[in-house]
Structure 1
Amino acid sequence: MIQKLLKGFIAVGIAAMIFGQCISYSPFEITLEDHEKDLTQKNLNRLLDNPTGNSDTVTFAFIGDTQRFYDASTDFVNVLNKRSDIEFVIHSGDISDFGLDLEFSLMAEILGKLKVPYLTVIGNHDIIYNGRRIYEQMFGPMDYSFTYKGFRFVMLNTNGREFGFSGKVPDIPWLDEQLSDTSHYKNALVIQHVPPGNDDFDNTLETSYAQTLSKWGKTLLSMNGHNHDYSIGEPYNDGVTYLNSFSTSKKSYVVVKIWEGGFSHVVVDF
């Protein structure tokens, strides 16, 4: 139903522009309301101010690529809200498909019904048109990190193609800085949308990215979306596991549990 609504809004906007009717709304306009802004900080405040579960472990759900899949995303929220073991949700990017604020608003409304906080990274589809500006207003910085129960979560923009393969995305020096203070965290997880080795990742940075993750000896997982399907492996044989999230269209998600020095994961269908 929400998909039909979105298509209807876009169709009306396009028809109005074609026929020259007087209408104030453009699908490329940014019209966020106050409750739709700074969602990353708002969710971090919820998470960090009220840690739940066992102090030695962290359990979270991992999804991605919710673009256009509004009904499936609603089903995910309904299913997850019945669980009591999930502390938060990580979304691996592509909240939108066309970088329109209507898409972002619809998905934020759905995800906002989660009983637990959720954190996001920016996907390649989230950058097109006005998407980058919308994401930064709605969520916040494209690169950020936080520490929860002693575990460092590094949220990273890796959409190299959308930045012209400039050699600056992902920001390797910033990533290195987040991982270098090893005395201040137990283990690290690095979350991004486009994985290294993908055609949309800046291949001039692939080696330095992998080396940065492994050199400090505390990175448990590199987690990404973009491929719309689950996979797990150790492509660089360096002790860092790479985990790819499902698109919600697959009607599956991953539950990840971490503890100092290790992790487990379970695929859940819904």
Structure 2
Amino acid sequence: MHNTCTKYNYFLKLTLIVFVLALQACEKFEYSPYEIRLLDNERQLNQKNIDRIKEQNIPQDATITFALIADTQGYYEDTDAIVNHLNKRNDVQFVLHNGDITDFGLLKEFRLINEKLGRLKVPLVTVIGNHDAVSNGKQLYKEMYGAYDFSFVAGHSKFIFINTNNWEFNSIDLDWLEDQLADRENYDQVFVLSHIPPTSSAFGEANARRYRQLMNKYKVSMSIHGHNHSFETYQLEEGGTQYMNVGEAADEEYIVMRVSNTAVAFERVSTKEIYQ
């Protein structure tokens, strides 16, 4: 009897050890919705895609064509439709996402939306949204996508991405932004992209005032945002910088920007339209 119990305990412990080792080896097993455990191909995605854009060697005198999306948070079928529609095009060189990739900042969400957006044939670069910064989303975003504030150059244009989620981070690094704008004269076009627009109370009144001054002082070509879940273009001062709020994925559309050395044009494209 004693030997039977001893053998039973031995095999029970062995089974538990094998089970635990199997779980540790399985990347798909989720210990907690708040965990951070990424694969190598899920890390630093913005820089990897910026490198892909640089590899295109866009000429200084060429028209740059890129797409804008925002607020894909939970709209998985609509995001699929946007990706499928964009993949039928041969003119878009890259896609820029204006934040709120996720709804609750959870690993499962980051992974699921990355699987969908990762099907894009062209590079995707994104800025952090306020929903991406909840739960442990701040750390997840940083590990999966990279820095909150960054920039890159393509052809004749500079693209500056800044974290404007003031409530979640208690600050907006406008000194960094001005440093990035200081070489404005080196580029024909400069775009600033963030999630929350300066017209939102979440931006902060003092931040918004200085931000608007910077946009006009450095003659930014366009300030582009998400967050409001509806498309809108506007100017905050007559003759000043043009602003754009990109709608949510559920609007079943995306924006195509065509930027030359001297002009900026855009069109709203419905995913229900057949693209030839």
- Report the alpha carbon displacement of residue 55 of structure 1 after superposing the two structures with TM: 4.0
Q: Could you tell me the percent identity over the aligned residues?
A: 40
Change (3 A) 1:54 1:253: farther
Work out whether residues 145 and 153 of structure 1, in 8 Å CA contact, stay in contact via their aligned partners in 2.
yes
Q: Match of 1:113, SS?
A: coil
Q: In the alignment, which residue of structure 2 is the partner of 1:143? A: 149
- 1:214 corresponds, among 201, 213, 216, to 216
CA distance in 2, matches of 1:54, 1:80: 25
- Report the alpha carbon displacement of residue 237 of structure 1 after superposing the two structures with TM: 2.3
Q: In the alignment, which residue of structure 2 is the partner of 1:250? A: 251
CA distance in 1, matches of 2:33, 2:49: 27
Q: Match of 2:197, SS?
A: coil
Q: Match of 1:200, SS?
A: helix
Q: Match of 2:151, SS?
A: strand
- 1:43 corresponds, among 40, 46, 49, to 49
Work out whether residues 52 and 87 of structure 1, in 8 Å CA contact, stay in contact via their aligned partners in 2.
no
Asked if residue 162 in structure 1 is aligned to residue 199 in structure 2, the reply is: no
The aligned runs of 1:1-270 (5 Å cut-off) are 25-51=31-57, 55-164=61-170, 168-169=171-172, 171-217=173-219, 219-270=220-271
CA distance in 1, matches of 2:137, 2:88: 32
CA distance in 1, matches of 2:66, 2:260: 12
Work out whether residues 220 and 261 of structure 1, in 8 Å CA contact, stay in contact via their aligned partners in 2.
no
Work out whether residues 93 and 225 of structure 1, in 8 Å CA contact, stay in contact via their aligned partners in 2.
yes
CA distance in 2, matches of 1:53, 1:266: 23
CA distance in 2, matches of 1:145, 1:63: 18
CA distance in 1, matches of 2:253, 2:218: 32
Deviations 1:190-228 (A, max 9, x none): 0000000202112221111011111023x1100000001
Gaps of 5+ in 2: 1-28, 272-276
CA distance in 1, matches of 2:101, 2:52: 21
TM-score under structure 2 normalisation? Answer: 0.85
Work out whether residues 33 and 107 of structure 2, in 8 Å CA contact, stay in contact via their aligned partners in 1.
yes
Number of residue-to-residue matches in the alignment: 243
- Report the alpha carbon displacement of residue 52 of structure 1 after superposing the two structures with TM: 5.2
Work out whether residues 65 and 246 of structure 1, in 8 Å CA contact, stay in contact via their aligned partners in 2.
yes
- Report the alpha carbon displacement of residue 262 of structure 1 after superposing the two structures with TM: 1.9
- For the pair shown, which has the larger CA radius of gyration, 1 or 2? 2
Q: Which amino acid aligns with 2:117?
A: L
CA RMSD of aligned residues (A): 1.5
CA distance in 2, matches of 1:50, 1:228: 32
- Report the alpha carbon displacement of residue 24 of structure 1 after superposing the two structures with TM: 6.1
CA distance in 2, matches of 1:69, 1:210: 31
Q: In the alignment, which residue of structure 2 is the partner of 1:16? A: none
Structure with bigger helix share is: 2
Structure 1 range deviating more: 27-36 or 175-184:
175-184
Structure 1 range deviating more: 91-100 or 48-57:
48-57
Q: Match of 1:99, SS?
A: coil
TM-score under structure 1 normalisation? Answer: 0.87
CA distance in 1, matches of 2:192, 2:50: 16
Change (3 A) 1:158 1:85: same
Q: Which amino acid aligns with 2:103?
A: D
Q: In the alignment, which residue of structure 2 is the partner of 1:5? A: none
